Amino acid sequence: MAACRVCLKRMVLVLAMLAANAAAGFDTRWHRDCTGAVADSLSAQPHAARLLLVGTFGPDFLFSLDVIAAEVARWRQAHGLLVVPGLNGLLAANPADDPELAAAARASLFLHFDDLQDGLIDNQAFALLLDRLYANTRSAVADYGSDPHLDEDSRRCLVLMTVGSSLHALQDFYCHTNWIHRDFAGLGVVETPASPPPTWFTFLEFLRQHNLDDLNAVGVRIQSGCFTADPNYAGRSTDGLPKTHRVFAHDNSYLRSDGVSQARFHRAGPVDGEVDPVGHMSVAAGVASRGSLEWVRRLLADGQAGRLLAAALAWRQPALVLDPAAAAAEACDRVSALCRHFDGDLLPPESAAEVDHLLSFDPIQLIPQALRARACLPDPTAGYWRLYVKHRVLNRLAAGLGDPATGRYCLVLAPPTQAAATALGGSSRRP
C-alpha cells in the first residue's frame, strides 16, 4: 500500500508538471525560423522542409494538446466556424484518451532542457543529455528510414519529423539555459564579450584543443531554469537569479512570461536584454540556428542515418493544389497564434502582422473543409500526426534521458574526465 501511495504521488507530480508546462506555453516563431534556416542552408526540397517544421513543433504540440483543444473550441464558437483550417484533423488525430499520446506527452517532458526537479546539477549532465539526444536521433533515423514494414513516403516522413523534433530540443538547450549569458571571451573561446556565443560543438572543440578534460572546471557553468510544480520553490542560480523556467527562458522577442517582462534577468551576454530585449533574443536565436545547422550536418555525415536523411531532404513531391505538409506546417503556426504563444503576449510588428494573417480566414476558403467535416472525410494533415504518435518518435528521442513515471532525469554521471571524453569523442566528433 505504501508503495502504491508513493507511485500515486509521483504520478500526480508528473501530471502537475505537464499542466504547468502547458500553461507556460510555447512560442513557435523562433523554432520555426531556426529550423527554416537549416532547411534553406541545405537546399531542402519544399515538402521536406515543411515536414522538418512540423516535427519541430511536435514536442510542444503533444505537451499542450489540452490547451490547444480548448483554444480551438473557443475560437470556433466565437466565430461560428465548423472547423479551423488545418486544425480539425490535427486534433482529431490525437484523442485525449489515447495511451500512446499520453506516453508521448510524458516523454516530451525531457526534450526542453528545463531543469526538472534540480536534476541538471552540472555541465556533465548537459553533456550527457546532448550526447544521448544525438545518439537517439541517429538511431531513430536509421531505423525509421530502413523499416521494411513502412512505405517509402512514411519512412521519409518519420525521418524528417524525427530530425525536426530533435532540433526543437537542441534549440531549447540554447534558449532555455544561460548559454548566451556565459563569459566565453574570458575563457578564450570567442574574441570579445560582444562576439556571438559559440555553439556547443565549438565549445567542445576548444576544450579538446586545450586539453581541458573536466567539463565542470572550465569557468563556464551551464544552468537552466527549474520546471517544478512547487509554488514555493526558491532555488537560485550561481549568478544569484531565481532559478526558474520563466526567468531563464528566451522564448519570445520581448522576453516576457505570463504577461510580465523578465528582461531585467537577461543583462549578461553580448546584448543587454533590459536595454534591447529583441536584440538579446536574437543572439539566442542566432546561436540556436547555427547549432541546428551544425547538428544536421553531423547527422548527414554519420553513416546510414546520414544517407537516409539526405534522401529525405531531397524528397520531391509533385505539385499539388493542397500540399498536406504545407497545411500541417501552417497549422502549427495557427495553433500558437490561437493560444497567444506565437511570439509572446506582446508582439513586435513583424510577428503581429503574421498573427493577423494566420487568424484572418476567408470564409470562401472554409467551404471545402466544412464539407469534408460534415461528410466525416479525413483531413490529410492528420496522417502525419498519427504516424508520429504511432511510431513513438518522442519516446525514441527521450529514451534514457529520464523516468516518465517520476518526471526526473535518470542520468548516471560519469567521472568528469570520462564524461568529457564521451562528449568530445562520441556523438560530438567532427565529421
The pLDDT of residue 90 is 55
The pLDDT of residue 53 is 95
User: 261: which DSSP letter?
Assistant: E
Closest CA to 244 of 228, 263, 267, 255: 228
Q: Torsion angle of alpha carbons 183, 186, 190, 195, nearest 10°?
A: 60
C-alpha triplet 253, 289, 317: angle, nearest 5°: 110
Cell 531585467 identifies what position? 264
The 10 Å Cβ neighbour count of residue 360 is 7
- From the number of C-beta atoms within 10 Å of its C-beta (0-12, 13-18, 19+), residue 233 rates as middle
Q: Write the CA distances from 111 to 87, 136, 431, integer angstroms.
A: 24, 12, 25
The pLDDT of residue 430 is 33
Provide the grid cell at 417: 574526465
Question: Could you tell me the mean pLDDT of each successive run of 10 residues in the chain, 431 residues long?
Answer: 41 37 62 96 95 94 80 76 59 66 90 89 93 97 97 96 97 96 92 93 93 88 84 86 90 90 95 96 96 98 97 84 76 84 90 88 47 44 83 96 89 50 42 33
User: 315: which DSSP letter?
Assistant: -
Per the CB < 8 A criterion, the answer to whether 111 and 140 are in contact is: no
Q: How far apart are CA 204 and CA 196, in angstroms?
A: 16
